[in-house]
A and B are shown apart, each in its own frame.
Chain A
Amino acid sequence: MENKHLPYMLLLPATIFLCVFFIYPFTLVAWEAFSKDGAFTMEHFQTMTSNWKFEISFWNTLLLAAAVVPIQLALSLLMATMVSKMQKGRDIVLYIWTIPLGISDLAAGIIWLAIFDQSGYLNSMLYGLGVIDQPENFLSYQNKSTIFIAIVLAEIWRATAIMLVILVAGIGLIPKEYYEAAEVFGASNWKRFTKITLPMLKPSLQTALVLRVILAFEVFAVVAALGGTNFPVLMGETYNWQFELQDGNVAAAYALVILAISIVFTLVILRVLRVPKGAQV
């Protein structure tokens, strides 16, 4: 009797927590997005989509995720394999690589702003080397592409470590026997990586990608610091509608759009990287 109920009892606190702090606020937000004076309406979504910045911020957000996530995936795989091969000093290297994780994203944005700013480090360096005659404004509205590159760099610097940590843990879980067998058959390093590490790493890759992609759609502070209003993204618009324009309904509509694309991409990743039941370790 007791044993039968125990698992549910143990799940109860987490379930209540989720209901109170996630499901309930979520329904409130959804209702705010779809209602006006207590009646159902699509007006807020129409306001949102007819705003000239909606389309720009939508594509900017997707473009940013498309540029940042693949680079981070490749980098974190490379870094994770390097770390796991190390005999000495592994912990120290891992600590150093994960330092950016401990820095808030706004602080990260400001660090990179100090580099790219008109009177920033990059300009001082180029000027000092005699490459430019006077400080270049890399982050002006005329240089949308450099703003984009700066944001991509800052995001890579800031958030690659979160994937790295997950992948390092995942690589540690792969049984050594596979590698030993591969070595016996004379498989090259690259072969071992593609035939053993990658397939065995699928569950970790799944987690890392889902987490990272969702975070990429929520990008805000780094963009705000480096791009200001020159590079609108969905989260920035949400903030703007909530606090500057004092329209919580449209802000809620934006929040739902972010949620929707997050769900879609999560499902895609889960499907593409699924591990068949029979193949699980």
Chain B
Amino acid sequence: MREKLKLLKTTALALSVIACASMAKADVLFWSTQAKPVEETQAMRDQVLAGAGQEVDYQASDGGPWLTRLQAELTAGDGTIGVLGGLHGNFTSLPDDLVDLSALGLKPTFSDLGMLGTSEQKYIPWMQATYVMAANKKALEYLPDGADVNALTYDQLIEWSKNMAEATGSPKFGFPAGPKGLKHRFFQGYLYPSYTDSVVRKFASPEAEVAWEKFKELWSYTNPGSTNFSFMQEQLLNEDVWVAFDHTARLADAFNQRPDDFIAFPAPAGPTGRGFMPVIAGVAVPKTAPDMDAAKELVAYMLKPETQIATLRATSFFPVVDVELPDDMPAAVKIAGDAIAKMSASPDANPGLLPAGLGDQGGKFNQVFTDTFERIVLAGQPVKDVLADQKTILAKIMNDTGAPCWAPDAPSEGACPVE
């Protein structure tokens, strides 16, 4: 009994000491939607932020809780968050709540996106990535005759997947259609631009019908477990699939663990080019930051070349400033970096931008594409009817937000029309 009491007392003492210590130190809270997997979060803390010259508390969470806490602090007018980290889409609803960072004089690539349609620098691009294809080398022998893996078309991808399915007895193409998978980006940045040269305007056009029919065909040779896949590196590593499409950061483990077994290559091309979409993450400072100077200092630190390289190692997101990459970079960086370079340099490249100007309707915009996929491909509903139905929802979102068209859609006066 006495032992127990002693233990209790010591624990209580220890707890109060910890509590005091954490209260005394005013760490900068870095509240982020990026580097969420535990290993990446830890790498951010140990390898990237340890050298920041000040104590930084890096916390990563899902977009929903991330926004909820931020909004609570903004509503209260009193906050603990110093620096925000998030994707472009996380910031689009917040222009009025972020301080102008233009005085820092940082101008990495895509800085214009960070202005969020205002005249101030609301966020500063922090790191970038994109989506590529990955394949197990075993798959290469099933490539259709005359197909170049670095210049594939969607028809060739379908044929390739068909060959693999017939030869091995089970579908070997994989697609991140799970609840946390980034399937909507494939439709917005890859399928639609490649078939319609548009995302919004031609959402329900005859060209879009063709695109969905093609995707349905591809789906028939796709591992049906795909509706549970969210990070394709897992299925590539356990060989449930041989060929997959995903975000470079979600393929990195496969390249890093078995660099000799996997290759990366550009996304396929359709009738209107090789559609692809860069992903931009940024750092911003909310108006309620407790220590403005410390927060801005941290933002500047994140953009230093050394920090950018450390971030690349930690998260597999590429730098947004000019840096000389050292030779000892992880395999994923070399493999994926090579594929991205080929994709951008391809003669039929058709890069699209991230959805912009949608404010807090970004989630609903993504849902239009996810619902269209679930209805056409999974539930087998008629393509034309589904597109006509989803079109009205899309048109309402565009009208409510007044978001103008972005590339590859032709520019619009006012809200981007759904034709």
Contact = CB atoms under 8 A, between A and B. Distances in A.
A246 B225 contact: no
Contacts of A224: 179
A141 B378 contact: yes
Contacts of B367: 244-245
Interface of B: 62-65, 67-68, 93, 169-170, 178-179, 224-225, 227-228, 238, 240, 360-364, 366-367, 371, 374-375, 378, 389
Interface string A216-246: 0000000010001110000000000011111
A interface, over-half SS: loop
A243 B63 contact: yes
A53 to B, nearest CB: 8
A38 B169 CA distance: 59
The 10 closest A-B pairs by CB, nearest first: A243-B64, A140-B224, A245-B363, A228-B179, A246-B360, A137-B225, A141-B227, A244-B363, A245-B364, A246-B363
B88 to A, nearest CB: 16
A46 interface: no
Contact of B225 (A134, A140, A242, A244): A140
A134 B179 contact: no
B65 A140 contact: no
Nearest to B240: A118
Q: Size class of A's contact patch?
A: 20 to 34
B228 A246 contact: no
Interface of A: 52-53, 118-119, 134, 137, 139-142, 224, 228-230, 242-247
B67 A246 contact: yes
B363 A140 contact: no
Given A229-B227, A246-B64, A246-B363, 19 more contacts: A118-B225, A119-B238, A119-B240, A134-B169, A139-B225, A140-B224, A140-B225, A228-B178, A228-B228, A229-B374, A243-B62, A243-B64, A244-B64, A244-B363, A245-B367, A246-B67, A246-B360, A246-B362, A246-B364
A47 to B, nearest CB: 10
Contacts of B225: 118, 137, 139-140
Contact of A52 (B68, B93, B375): B375
Contacts of A119: 238, 240
A43 to B, nearest CB: 11
18 contacts: A52-B389, A53-B371, A118-B225, A119-B240, A134-B170, A139-B225, A141-B227, A141-B378, A142-B224, A224-B179, A228-B179, A243-B62, A243-B64, A243-B68, A244-B63, A244-B363, A244-B366, A246-B93
Contacts of A52: 371, 375, 389
B228 A139 contact: yes
Contacts of A243: 62-65, 68
A115 to B, nearest CB: 14
A141 B360 CA distance: 30
A243 B225 CA distance: 25
A244 B362 CA distance: 9
B351 to A, nearest CB: 26
A90 B178 CA distance: 45
A230 B63 CA distance: 22
Contacts of B378: 141, 230
Given A228-B178, A242-B64, A244-B363, A140 B228 contact: yes
A83 B164 CA distance: 56
A140 B227 contact: yes
Nearest to A247: B364
